[in-house]
Amino acid sequence: MCGILAVLGCSDSSQAKRVRVLELSRRLKHRGPDWSGLYQHGDCFLAHQRLAIVDPASGDQPLYNEDMNIVVTVNGEIYNHEELRKALVGHRFRTGSDCDVIAHLYEEHGENFVDMLDGMFSFVLLDTRDNSFIVARDAIGVTSLYIGWSLDGSVWISSEMKGLIDDCEHFETFPPGHLYSSKAGGFKRWYNHPWYSESIPSAPYDPLVLRKAFEDAVIKRLMSDVPFGVLLSGGLDSSLVAAVTSRYLKETKAAKQWGAQLHSFCVGLEGSPDLKAAKEVADYLGTVHHEFHFTVQDGIDAIEDVIHHIETYDVTTIRASTPMFLMARKIKALGVKMVLSGEGSDEIFGGYLYFHKAPNKEEFHRETCHKIKALHQYDCLRANKAASAWGLEARVPFLDKEFIDVAMSIDPEWKMIKPESGRIEKWVLRKAFDDEEKPYLPKHILYRQKEQFSDGVGYSWIDGLKAHAAQNVTDKMMQNAGNIFPHNTPTTKEAYYYRMIFDRFFPQNSASLTVPGGPSVACSTAKAVEWDSQWSNNLDPSGRAALGVHESAYEPHVPAAIAVGKGANMITKKKKPRIVEVTAPAHPIST
């Protein structure tokens, strides 16, 4: 992932302003440590911090058209850039970068080209002929992006909040699937695929069609001129990403450059469910497996850095981001610059354990739609920023536009969880890859129960966080929480602890408004909490809060007693060991 920063239409075009833009751009340098670029045209500045994945030798940004009167700064990858180049007859490209097509597409089609792009992206395009500009973000929000406005009327764009918080009167998350046009003077949605309307689909389930769509999504993401690997938690989603990558890697250009043996990475507490399951999958697939361990104290020590980089106070995001943040640093130290990850599957297929209680297919489908639309605030935010903190790029094949179209067109009756019929969560995905002749995965991995990443790295991780927060947040502080934090008032000491840290880094009211809130159980939306009356008394984003569903569910109203000290990573209250599946998200590390 790269970092982009743009200041558009500011009242000051002096050298001092240029120096200020450079200073702010350096706040994003962790995202793109390979090169920096800054373009100025009058009162507009476009800055870029590059992480070089495709054409590292000549793809530095900003990028231009032939006449250099259209300028683009981009964060992301355009997987269909070779097809687009062929269609742009008569155009001359300056680099081999996949993002080089954007300026030329604008020349041909004006503002109406964004849906032609197949990839993950955020970009700012400046047309110097009339000083107009457009800003766009990918359909789901895999890449992070913010927009702000200064008192002088200028528009600010940044990959992270930290690039604009000090200079904008107001800022907010740039909505996924949208385009901001200076000519139109506001936002318009460019992404209008059928599922977005939330109407109930009726297409029959075809496992081979679903399988082919996912394989295509993985294969196109193997486009790389640098070493890469896969995040492997041992859960269904990351294991399928690894299995498909391993099966098709040898046929790619990347294999000719870097070899056909896949590297996999996993992280967890010593003895955690993920480490065991990931090792088993890695052995089955024959990957070069790297397993990284951390302790509860290691994670607690990293919390402040995590919140500064992820830019959220959401509890479940911070829980899952911390092990991924630690893992990303180890991966980058091994010389790897890109990884494939399993985010998005649980949202598309209703994989979270609370979906067991969906009352009908209509509510099931609407909940999946709401979850996908919110991904940019949760798992995409985590995957993007936890990896980018160390100059690592995360690609997510489950969030491929074409794959989503296929998966979300299936009659949701097929996705409903029906234990009496042998259908567990994500049954349609599991069945699609249940190949007796050429197995993708061992059966018990293919049908392993869903485990959220923050649980799968080791149950004592979450329990340790709660205990640490309890030591730092008093009952008196909680009594006044509503007065101190009137928006998204923290209801637990853990949430209060994260909020204090967040507000220290991002004190502006605009910053707190970028973070979602509301009641949740096992990562549900607030609406889905109504599916089971028990849940309203046991609100927690952990999968173990899905009482009556998770095999190691919390005991109602009985908090686990845990020991947290230096290096502590064991719960004093013992649970029987079991294998659990990690959420589509973050996956493990290994040395």
Q: Evaluate whether 128 touches 41 at the Cβ level (below 8 Å).
A: yes
In the chain, count H helices and then E strands: 21, 17
Of the candidates 426, 423, 416, 352, the one whose C-alpha atom is nearest the C-alpha of residue 585 is: 352
Phi, psi dihedral angles at 24 (to 5 degrees): -70, -40
Buried b (16+ CB within 10 A) or exposed e, 497-528: bbbbbbbebbebebbbebbbbeebbbbbbeeb
Straight-line distance from the first to the last Cα atom of the chain, in angstroms, rounded to the nearest whole number: 24
Q: Residue 322: in which H helix or E strand, if any?
A: helix 315-333
CA distance 181 to 221: 29
DSSP helix/strand/coil, 562 = strand
CA distance 228 to 246: 12
| Residue 99 designated active-site | no
Q: Evaluate whether 572 touches 561 at the Cβ level (below 8 Å).
A: yes
Q: Cβ contacts of residue 276 below 8 Å, gap of 6+? A: 234, 579
Cis link prior to 62 (omega < 30° from 0)? yes
Rounded-to-5 percentages of helix, strand, coil across the chain: 40, 15, 40
Cα-Cα-Cα-Cα dihedral sign, residues 436, 228, 117, 383: positive
Exposed / middle / buried, residue 437 (Cβ in 10 Å: 0-12, 13-18, 19+): exposed
CA distance 255 to 258: 5
CA distance 391 to 338: 9
Q: Evaluate whether 399 touches 140 at the Cβ level (below 8 Å).
A: yes
CA distance 299 to 270: 13
Q: Which residues does residue 203 pair with via DSSP β-bridges, in sequence order?
A: 410
Exposed / middle / buried, residue 335 (Cβ in 10 Å: 0-12, 13-18, 19+): exposed
| Structural tokens at position 543 | 């999968």
Of the candidates 75, 76, 96, the one whose C-alpha atom is nearest the C-alpha of residue 85 is: 96
Active site residues: 2
